[in-house]
Chains A and B, each alone.
Chain A
Amino acid sequence: MLMKLYLEAAEQAYGELTRLDQAAGDGDYGDNLREGLRGAVSRIPTDADLATEFETAATYFLDEVGGTSGPLLGLLFNDVGASLEQGGDGDLALINGLDAGTAAISRVGEAKVGDRTMLDCLGPTLDDVHAARPPVDWTMVANQAFDHARATADLAPRMGRASYVGQRAIGNPDAGAMGIALLFWALAVDRDPTSRDRLPDPARPM
């Protein structure tokens, strides 16, 4: 189950996510992601398909999770769930949903790639997916996602939690971007359980 894997990654990365968010913001990112995923997993039926997993997680993140990053993740899940519902759980529907969700986050957060937000992992990683030949190698995609998340360490914040501390945020990756890399980790492991060995350890994502 994908969301169980995402929760496993978020549990392992909790300390690191909290440290990253404390360096740039209010330090609640790890809590919000972990609590959101715990709540979502507890509500997903055991026999759920991928569309139901995303739809259930969307409702929980949108309705129950505080802050802004949690509900924004809810928007991403909402679009992925709707796309999978219509197009089946193949790669194309998944990618279309991730594209739509990324656009929604950008619209609502009024941020774009380069502003040092979760979009700095989502946007470039999806660009990599579109540039590669099908079929999608999700293990490679997840490794690229970690690279993009790490690269936010060099970005000056313009929007989002880190904009309040300005240049002082530079040097650490953005917690929100790292949270997205963990989603790609879960997608890769869900599609190929053996890919764990070829991916970064969520507890030490740097």
Chain B
Amino acid sequence: MAEPFYASKTEYVDRALLGFARDHADVVELSTDPVFVRSIDRDPRRQVGLLSGGGSGHEPMHVGLVGRGMLDAAAPGRVFASPHNRQVYEGSRAAAGPAGVLHIVKNYTGDRINFGIAAERLRHDGIPVARVLVDDDVATESQQTATGRRGTGATVLTEKLLGAAADRGAGLDELVAIGETVVGRSRSIAVASLAQTSPVTGRPGFDLGPGELEYGVGIHGERAQHTIDRPPLEELVARMVDDVVTHLPGGRSVFLFVNGLGGTTYIELYNVFAEAVDALAARDIAVERSLVGPYTPALDMKGFSITITMLEPSVEAHPTGGWTALFDAPAWTAGLRK
């Protein structure tokens, strides 16, 4: 039993947002009715505003990715629950540039519907709006449902690259094309050895025996389809890298993102990262750029995810420098600074 440190049983997300906005008053401002966070600064070349959002519990995603070089606004819902369409709608009106607003949406039914309703309202107001849907989790690839793959770690990379492209003055159509290509060439998988603590009960969201791992776990405390006996780390990471690479187009250079799920230390994450670099090298794949840290956690779950983005030689050969140049472009947010 590990009771969370919340000021109130019901208002803890709002309280955290208040604290967050106070801490980062040089980067963001908080709207409270409806609730959204917006950047106080943006590149003057940016024509299209970027807005994302989703359930809380994945911080710094998304409010911590608001700021110059990344998102113009974010709409946070309750823990693991979609924001209301009014948050997305009003946040989008605040975030929109002269050429409209782009929604970056993780693939969950509630998020799709609420962002969709907001998009209809924005069109009614004459504001151009488009969507990039992130669906990278290979653990949900084979399920026989209409819902498709979940959106997880690739969201952070997508937001970074699209932020940099927007700062070059890219229009809505161009951003959608880049975003869809990045998502199409990014896949992830996650494992956990301990579930997150439920904010309601203070108990683990699910039980795992010692020596067991949840393989293919989601970021909302939903269990995986498989519980496995824990292999040595080298073997585990090699298996995860294989599972991800199998679902990607062929190629020789990648972005590698090792993400902590909330209860995992940097020492652990860098152990995972070193193994993943070796596992990719053994497959003759070079890591061009990397990101390591808890950027898309599931509250305090003990576990990690691996996201790989396969670069495309023709894009990288472009005079503007391809996705690596977008990755390297400056960003100044609470959670990610370059």
Q: B-contacting residues of A (Cβ < 8 Å)?
A: 62-63, 66, 68, 71-72, 74-75, 78, 82, 104, 107-110, 158-159
Q: How distant is the Cα of A82 from the Cα of B125 in the complex, in angstroms?
A: 11
A-B contact pairs, 15 of them (CB 8 A): A62-B89, A62-B121, A68-B113, A71-B85, A71-B114, A82-B124, A104-B120, A107-B120, A108-B113, A108-B119, A109-B113, A109-B116, A110-B112, A158-B146, A159-B146
Q: How distant is the Cα of A158 from the Cα of B86 in the complex, in angstroms?
A: 26
Query: Do the beta carbons of A108 and B117 come within 8 Å of each other?
Result: yes
Report if B293 contacts A (CB, 8 A).
no
Complex contacts, A62 vs chain B, CB 8 Å: 85-86, 89, 117, 121
Q: A-contacting residues of B (Cβ < 8 Å)?
A: 84-86, 89, 110, 112-114, 116-117, 119-121, 124, 146
Contacts A108-B119, A109-B116 supplied; 4 other A-B pairs, CB < 8 Å: A66-B84, A71-B85, A108-B120, A158-B146
Complex contacts, B117 vs chain A, CB 8 Å: 62, 71-72, 74-75, 108
Query: Do the beta carbons of B146 and A68 come within 8 Å of each other?
Result: no
Complex contacts, A63 vs chain B, CB 8 Å: 86
From B86, B117, B146, name the one whose CB has the most chain A CB atoms within 10 angstroms.
Answer: B117
Chain B, Cβ-Cβ closest to A109: B113
Chain A, Cβ-Cβ closest to B34: A63
Query: Do the beta carbons of B146 and A75 come within 8 Å of each other?
Result: no
Query: Do the beta carbons of B112 and A78 come within 8 Å of each other?
Result: no
How many residue-residue contacts, CB under 8 A, span A and B? Answer: 38
Given contacts A78-B121, A78-B124, A82-B124, are A107 and B85 in contact (CB under 8 A)?
no
CB distance from B87 to the nearest CB of A (A): 10
Q: How distant is the Cα of A93 from the Cα of B121 in the complex, in angstroms?
A: 20
Q: How distant is the Cα of A62 from the Cα of B85 in the complex, in angstroms?
A: 7
Chain B, Cβ-Cβ closest to A158: B146
CB distance from A61 to the nearest CB of B (A): 10
Q: How distant is the Cα of A90 from the Cα of B152 in the complex, in angstroms?
A: 49
Complex contacts, B86 vs chain A, CB 8 Å: 62-63
From B85, B110, B120, name the one whose CB has the most chain A CB atoms within 10 angstroms.
Answer: B120
Complex contacts, A71 vs chain B, CB 8 Å: 85, 113-114, 117
CB distance from B38 to the nearest CB of A (A): 19
Q: How distant is the Cα of A107 from the Cα of B86 in the complex, in angstroms?
A: 18
Please name the 4 residue pairs, one residue from A and one from B, whose CB atoms are nearest each other, closest first.
A108-B116, A63-B86, A71-B117, A68-B113
Query: Do the beta carbons of B112 and A68 come within 8 Å of each other?
Result: no
Complex contacts, A82 vs chain B, CB 8 Å: 124
